[in-house]
Structure 1
Amino acid sequence: MFKETIDCIDAGTEFCPCHLAESGECILCSQLQGSHFCDCLNWKGVCIYQELHDNGNKAKEQRKTYTCKVCEKILYPDDVLLIKFEAPHKLVIDLARPGSFIFIRSEENVYFDVPISILESDIEKDIISIMIEIRGIKTKQLLNIESGGNITIRGPYWNGVFGLKNIRKQKNNEALVIARGIGMAPMMPVIDRLVENGNTVTLILDKQPFKEIYVSEWLDKLNIVPQEMNLIEKGELSPEGKVAIKSIVKYNNISLIHIAGADILTYSVIDFLDSLDRQDIDLSCCNNFKMCCGEGVCGSCTARFSGHRVKRFCKVQASPRGIFEGRRLI
């Protein structure tokens, strides 16, 4: 019998069991979904049912809110904002992994918190760096943050990247990273982890809609020179992008492709790889689902799939191909 591979990013952590388990909608535990039979979808070494029982059938304490001191703020052209702030050492360690993100308090109303991926988490200096594209009402409020002042954040959260297990298993291999726009910021922890594990990284970067590559400082530290090109043309993968990807995949032993950009880029790259019959290459990509509470409760991050399945993508760790297969668009 076929069983879909499903994982919960919080399972087995200090934040499990969560409010979903408390309300009978745990992502992994069959008994906390109403079944009388123990059949975990993905065993994490901890019995979530037992953990909930031992905790008085209540969810464990969830993420904390921290007030941190801003040590640097830079507003680049194209309305790109870089903020560096000091944070507690444990939080910095927790946010050092690929896919980490936080919620930033833009005003007193907690419903206006802004989810932002981590650019860099420096565990030596306890400094966290984030890069934000100023686009709408909530992000414009972040312009009021000043160097020397405070920033209020909530975290840590870890599901900012799909296909994390594919990134973790790469050792002394060759990887291709394809990034566009503000996706250049959350790609950095992924590249850092790949280089740390002895992998050779090739980077294709489309800086549109920006005029500059605002992560050059971090790329230089890793001695990575990006291949700049236009990746999206008329809503599809550009001919230039197709030629570059096909050539790199053909003449290099690429074992992983990480896609850091909008869903149209992810979908187009996956579709092109399928046309090349290269399903053997592992994939990872940015999680672009809308976030509000980050705990699977509000429903902002949910998507509906065939078979009346609903997935909460702030917690569900899925494969990049899995987030598009069987997905209902209406």
Structure 2
Amino acid sequence: MDSVRAERPLLIHIGYHKTGTTWFQRRLFVPENGYFQLLDHQEIFETLVRPYPLAFDPEEVAARIAGPLARLPEGCVPMLSSEILSGNPFFGARDCLLCAERLKTCFPTARILITIREQIAAIVSTYMQYLRRAGTLSPQDFYDARVEPGYGAFDHRHFQYDRLVAEYRRLFGAGDVLVVTNEALATDAMAVATEVATFSGAALPRQVSSTRVGASAPEAAVGALRLVNRLRGGPASTATLVDLGAAGHWLHRGTAKLFQLPPLRRYAAGHRPVLDAARIRYAGAFAESNRRLVEMIGPTPGLSSYEGVSMTLLDAVSAPDPSRQGRTPAAAALETRRS
């Protein structure tokens, strides 16, 4: 493992959830673009996240990836990509630092890619994912996180990105941590792909598809989906009346699709109860964190739409500095051309 890592450093993409991670994994991080994923999402969970803290063994991790490393295609960057490495947002991401420390122990010279998204949009999408996993709480109850002592729940502070970014910069060094926004990905997927390639040492990618992967159900379907979720089990299920098994799964999918068809599509477009609840609940909650993030990593594309990020602030830190968030001079030049 050391000889391969020395030749081409491991790239680790930790998420966050709902930041285009599926697009990265299916569209960009493939051998055709110069990347080789050593473990899939389930394997990463079983190998790096799930093990009990007092029984975690880095040697077992090394043994698990030895086989994939031996099959590493020539010219490819070895990598891991799973949003679960940033923590489980349904339970307040209480494991985010544990994952960071394990990654540092197992892969001390890795390069870290962190993808983020404007917080309100990310929180809305997280709730919709909670419904997909059979949750039944209303948006307000989900956000309020009223649970019994000792049980985890949603915590909006997980989306104060500067905290986790700062921790990874401390562990791996600022020069080996790159932050990319979902907004930049939506605007110019090829530019993001080129930036990640420059950072990771991969060959510049061929044309990549910008087609969205894994869109959420319309928010207007929330009430119906919560009712349907009482008829199926799932990871977030707490109030199942009758588990219909596969039938409940298809009922959930059919209900979501129904709100994407005429005549409900027009109603759905103007009915955003989850967004409305999040805007009220978290007004002002991320401004200071976003300002700290900009001061830390510089005027990264896409951050201008984040709460608390003004053009005055962006101008104040506008000088390209490759060391600010782990960019090579070529990547810094790319950012200057895009801006």
The TM-score normalised by the length of structure 2 is 0.22
Structure number with higher helix proportion: 2
Q: Which has the bigger relative contact order, CA under 8 A and spacing at least 6?
A: 2
Structure number with higher strand proportion: 1
The TM-score normalised by the length of structure 1 is 0.23
